[in-house]
């Protein structure tokens, strides 16, 4: 299973790297949560259909508690505390809803603050099962994006950036995609996004 996953990911990434559509890959495994564009597209409704629920059942992802926190029975600060979780407690992340993660902590299921948990790369805890599930980060809707482990793909590097030659045609294209404030406001209205007055947090000491 995990080698299949790796294959599909490698395929996808090469396609991205050369600018081809991932659809060109022969991608026959059935991993539900790869970054493959076609799966992302298939899993999402048409762009103008508003999807309000951002909860969905995901394959569990291993996480670690960053600081002592409370396991709550609901995703609210004033919800009932089921138990305290010490820093470094291992949890399985089942789902996300806004600022809360639905987790399984040693057999007990509940909600913890997203900011109190981190994930970690696969490999720290060896089994194939875990490696596979670590690649699927629970973040909301099923079938949505992930960053999947890979190797041998060159990313952007300093040398490349330093030697970059300008692409004036591309810049022209970028300029042409500009959206006016009115167009942006129309979009916000259509999707019920209301501007709110919120202060920045103070600079920490």
Partner 1 sequence: MTTPTRRLRILGLLFVALLAQSAAGDSLRDRIAGKISDDKRLLISVTPEDEIKIGKQVSANLLGVAPLVKDDGLQRYVNTVGRWVALQSERPDLPWRFGVIESADVNAFAAPGGYILITRGLYASLSEEAELAGVLGHEITHVVERHHIELLRKGTLIEEGRKALEKRMNDDKDETLRRLVGSGAELFARGLDKGAEFEADRRGVVLAARAGYSPYGLPAVLQKIASVAKSDDRVQLLFKTHPLPEERLRALANSMGTQYDRYDRPGAGGTLYPLR
Minimum Å gap between C-beta 9 and partner 1 is 10
Kindly state whether residue 17 participates in binding partner 1, applying the rule CB under 8 A.
yes
Kindly state whether residue 79 participates in binding partner 1, applying the rule CB under 8 A.
no
Identify the three-state secondary structure at position 59.
Answer: coil
Residues in contact with 181: Cβ distance below 8 Å, sequence separation at least 6, in sequence order: none
- Residue among 6, 40, 36, 41 nearest 24 (CA): 36
Nearer Cβ to partner 1 (45/107): 45
Kindly state whether residue 185 participates in binding partner 1, applying the rule CB under 8 A.
yes
Minimum Å gap between C-beta 120 and partner 1 is 6
DSSP 73: S
Kindly state whether residue 104 participates in binding partner 1, applying the rule CB under 8 A.
no
- Burial group, residue 51, by CB count within 10 angstroms (0-12, 13-18, 19+): exposed
x-marked contacts with partner 1 along 138-167 as a string, rule CB under 8 A: -xxx--xxxx-xxxxxxxxxx-xxxxxxxx
Kindly state whether residue 126 participates in binding partner 1, applying the rule CB under 8 A.
no
C-alpha 128/C-alpha 69 separation (Å) is: 29
Kindly state whether residue 90 participates in binding partner 1, applying the rule CB under 8 A.
no
């Amino acid at each position: 299973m995990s080698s299949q996953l790796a294959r599909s990911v490698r395929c996808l990434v090469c396609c991205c790297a050369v600018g081809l559509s991932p659809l060109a890959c022969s991608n026959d495994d059935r991993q539900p949560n790869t970054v493959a564009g076609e799966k992302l597209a298939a899993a999402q409704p048409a762009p103008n259909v508003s999807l309000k629920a951002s909860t969905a059942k995901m394959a569990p992802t291993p996480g670690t508690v960053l600081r002592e926190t409370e396991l709550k029975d609901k995703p609210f600060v004033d919800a009932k505390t089921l138990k305290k979780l010490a820093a470094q407690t291992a949890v399985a992340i089942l789902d996300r809803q806004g600022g809360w993660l639905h987790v399984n902590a040693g057999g007990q299921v509940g909600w913890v603050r997203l900011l109190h948990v981190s994930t970690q790369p696969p490999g720290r805890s060896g089994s194939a099962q875990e490696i596979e599930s670590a690649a699927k980060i629970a973040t909301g809707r099923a079938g949505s994006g992930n960053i999947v482990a890979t190797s041998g793909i060159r990313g952007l590097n300093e040398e490349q950036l330093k030697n970059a030659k300008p692409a004036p045609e591309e810049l022209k294209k970028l300029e042409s995609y500009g959206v006016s404030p009115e167009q942006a406001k129309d979009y916000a209205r259509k999707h019920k996004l209301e501007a709110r007055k919120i202060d920045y947090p103070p600079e920490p000491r």
